[in-house]
Amino acid sequence: MIHSIELRHLLPIVFKGMEDSERIRTSQIWEVPSFVFAKGCRICIHAESGCGKSSLLSFIYGNRSDYSGKILFNGKDTKKFRVQQWCDVRTKSIALLPQEMRLFPELTVMQNIRLKNDITGHKSEEEILELLERMGIKDKKEEAAGRLSIGQQQRAALVRAVCQPFDFIFLDEPVSHLDEKNNRIAAKIIEEEADMQSAGIVSTSVGNNLLLHGSKYIML
Amino acid sequence: MNSRFHSDKNIWSLLKRNVSKGQLMGYVLSNALGLTVVLTGMMFYLDSSHSSDKNDSFFSKDYVVVSKKVNGVGFSPVSFGKDEIDRLEQQPWVKRTGRFTSSRFAVNGAVDIGGRGLSTYMFFESVPDDFFDIKPRDWKFDPAERFVPIILCKDYMALYNFGFAAPQGLPQISEELACAIPIKLRVSGNNMMSETFDAAIVGFSSRLNTIAVPQDFMDWANERYAPGAETNPSRLIVEIDRLAAADMSKYLDKENMEIGGDMSGDGNISKFLSTASAVVTANGIIICALAIFILVLSIFLLLQKSRQKLHHLMLLGYTPAEVGAYYERLVVTANTIVTLAATTATLLLRQTWETPLKEIGLGEASVIPMLACSMLYLLAVTAVNIRIIRHHMTLIWNNG
């Protein structure tokens, strides 16, 4: 279980040499001596395009390591994690909804969701169908993911993201293609799932925020 | 467990879309062909260098019998003088020589076939025992036992069965039967009463064109029946070095000598068969190498095409080993099919040469080296394939 994620002097390699720029100096995350995501937190990270939101989530998720500084899970440096440790993190501790969703377009919505749920065994078939129904895409469950609209894909990817136990869920612009009604439904589902596990929710946005209660807004 | 099964099906249905059936079939076919050629060449080599008939392998293929040419009618026997033998032994293609010893006494052999007695004057020759590859069980002579083992030229059997027996109203007899017929030898020498010995044929040779007895009998009998009448050998058996034998016939011509029977031909056939199978095997190895190259290329291409999918699966929490296992299963299956197909094809093809080779006294080699070779191939190629896959999975994990 991960209680805390601490960022120490974290900076993408591409921002090297720009430490004194306005953007880095005003950032509440980049180059900060210590920034901590605590379990149970509700944080919404605001940033303009190109500020490194997706990079930040990739660094935390172990997908990229082109950064300086340190990322510590429960005080342990993640750069020293081995393959199996990362796979455990990704199936037991940290859920991620990437901005590009990463659905397999040739597989159906259900097949996509099962690919995740099969390794975690977290949800029953009925629970998955109920989530799809609440998201309003139950009738698309046998449709190839590539044939859905972006908004529908976003909702399918969101259901997939919660098909695992987690201490933190990171959502990269989760509602960028959702209307307000669906935004509220998505926010409610994520909150319910997080509350059940006392997990933290970290979302990013360039404008269209996930409508969560009591979120702390910070600037990247 | 049940959900694992589902995920297996889901992942494979995702990954198999990038598997090119054409490429895979191409690999399986070309590699099965290549491996068949390799194994066939190898099996043929083993068969053609393995003697199936023990009686026939008295002389290894690298022995020839050398005699001097007889011109016109000669009453003084042609024979090799000591200096001639010395000169011959100095030739680069001569490893060693053995002298044929002829009997210097009169022999009369009598047998009883089908109730009819048959007797004939005979002659014997002998060569030193170490010029024999193997010896029949009874290949020895003890004066106390008075039993003489004989090795007969196969052609003599054929002469009797097909030329002599039928018109004379005598039965044709098999080699086994001939070996069971007791022979009475009556040997007489200078100024001596004739003595009798029991004798029997103990083996047949298609290469040794004579009636051979053990050297120890020959020495004993020559000394007993014709003491002091030492003569030069009229024939020599020569162990030759095939690699240096290019100018052998030129030398023999010059010295007025000739090679007896078909012995040189046998060596040539064996040499030809070995060379042919070596060429075939070399071709097979080339085909195999190309086929393996195709597979390695296909794996690279396949993993490259599937790179993003594989990386996304890893981001979902699948380990590189888990996703790589699907490709490992694929190459293990393909390589197993290739090996089984090639081994079966080789065993089937072998039937086409088994009978002809057996007729010339070759074949019936063990299939174990061939099977071992195909298993080794399966293990080695699969190991290399799996290594490549694992290496690629690590690259995808690290670089996305």
What confidence tens digit (pLDDT) does each residue in B3-16 have? 455 567 778 888 88
* CATH number for the domain that contains residue A109: 3.40.50.300
Report which of residues A112 and B51 the model is more confident about: A112
pLDDT bin (cut points 50, 70, 90) of residue B142 is confident
Structural domain total, chain A? 1
Q: What local confidence, expressed as pLDDT, does residue A160 receive?
A: 96
Q: What local confidence, expressed as pLDDT, does residue B263 receive?
A: 47
Do the Cβ atoms of A102 and B14 come within 8 Å? no
| Exposed / middle / buried, residue B321 (Cβ in 10 Å: 0-12, 13-18, 19+) | middle
Taking residues B47-71, what's their average pLDDT? 64
Do the Cβ atoms of B17 and A107 come within 8 Å? no
In this predicted structure, the answer to whether residue B2 has a pLDDT above a threshold of 50 is no
* Interface contacts (A, B; CB < 8 Å): 56
Taking residues B235-246, what's their average pLDDT? 73
Q: What local confidence, expressed as pLDDT, does residue B346 receive?
A: 94
What confidence tens digit (pLDDT) does each residue in A82-111 have? 999 999 999 999 999 999 999 999 999 999
Report the alpha-carbon distance of residue B128 to residue B147 in Å, rounded: 19
Task: Compare CB distances from B3 to A96, A111, A118 and report the shortest one's residue.
Answer: A118
Taking residues B55-68, what's their average pLDDT? 61
Task: Compare CB distances from A115 to B7, B17, B397 and report the shortest one's residue.
Answer: B7
Provide the domain limits for residue A20. 4-219
Tell whether ipTM is more than 0.90.
Answer: yes
A68 sits in which H/E element: strand A67-73
Alpha helices in chain B (DSSP H): 2-15, 21-48, 82-89, 154-158, 166-168, 175-180, 215-225, 248-254, 263-305, 307-316, 320-359, 368-399
Closest listed residue to residue B157, CA positions, set B139, B138, B181: B181
Beta-bridged to residue B197, according to DSSP, are B185
Task: Compare CB distances from B7 to A87, A119, A164 and report the shortest one's residue.
Answer: A119
What secondary structure does DSSP assign to A99-110, as a single string? Answer: TT----TTSBHH
Q: What local confidence, expressed as pLDDT, does residue A51 receive?
A: 87
How close does chain A come to B336, measured CA to CA in Å?
A: 30
pTM of the model: 0.66
Report the alpha-carbon distance of residue B396 to residue B386 in Å, rounded: 15
In this predicted structure, the answer to whether residue A67 has a pLDDT above a threshold of 80 is yes
In this predicted structure, the answer to whether residue B213 has a pLDDT above a threshold of 80 is yes
Residues of A with CB under 8 A from a CB of B: 61, 63-64, 83-84, 87, 90-91, 96, 98, 102, 104, 106-107, 111, 114-121, 164
Give residue limits of the domains in chain B.
2-53+272-399, 101-231
Report the alpha-carbon distance of residue A132 to residue B19 in Å, rounded: 32
In this predicted structure, the answer to whether residue A120 has a pLDDT above a threshold of 90 is yes
Neighbours of B380 (CB within 10 A): 12
In sequence order, what are the residues at sequence separation of 6 or more whose Cβ sits closer than 8 angstroms to the Cβ of residue A71? A5, A6, A7, A8, A10, A59, A60, A77, A78, A79
Classify the phi-psi angles of A71: left when phi > 0, otherwise alpha if psi is within -120 to 50, otherwise beta: beta
What secondary structure does DSSP assign to B225-278, as a single string? Answer: HSTT-----SEEEEEE-GGGGGGHHHHHHHTTEEE-TTHHHHHHHHHHHHHHHH
Do the Cβ atoms of A115 and B397 come within 8 Å? no
Report the alpha-carbon distance of residue B187 to residue B195 in Å, rounded: 5
B9 touching chain A per CB within 8 A: no
pLDDT bin (cut points 50, 70, 90) of residue B393 is very high
Taking residues B164-192, what's their average pLDDT? 83
Side-chain-side CA neighbours of residue B106 (13 Å): 10
Hey, which bits of B101-146 come out as E strands? 101-102, 106-113, 116-122, 125-126
- In percent, the amount of chain B with pLDDT more than 90 equals 20
A143 sits in which H/E element: none
Closest chain A CA to residue B1? A118
Do the Cβ atoms of A104 and B312 come within 8 Å? yes
Q: What local confidence, expressed as pLDDT, does residue B246 receive?
A: 64
